[in-house]
Amino acid sequence: MAATRVMMMSTTNIAFKSSFLKPQSLAFCFNKSAKLVNKKRGFACSALYKPDDVQIKEEGLPETLDYRVFFHDNTGKKISPWHDIPLHVGDGAFNFIVEIPKESSAKMEVATDEIWTPIKQDTKKGKLRYYPYNINWNYGLLPQTWEDPSHANPEVEGAFGDNDPVDVVEIGESRGKVGQLMKVKPLGVLAMIDEGELDWKVIAISLDDPKASLVNDVDDVEKHFPGTLTAIRDWFRDYKIPDGKPANNFGLGNKAANRDYALKVITETNESWAKLVKRTTPAGELSLV
Q: Look at residue 286 and tell me whether its pLDDT is greater than 90.
A: yes
CATH 3.90.1150.10: does it fit domain 4-277? no
Which tens digit of pLDDT belongs to each residue from 256-280? 999 999 999 999 999 999 999 999 9
Q: Are 68 and 109 in contact (CB under 8 A)?
A: no
Domain spans in the chain, listed from the N-terminal domain onward: 4-277
Choose, from 67, 130, 131, 261, the residue flagged as catalytic. 131
Which tens digit of pLDDT belongs to each residue from 3-44? 545 554 433 333 333 333 333 233 344 333 333 333 333 443
Which tens digit of pLDDT belongs to each residue from 237-250? 999 999 999 999 99
Is 139 an active-site residue? no
The whole model's pTM is what?
Answer: 0.85
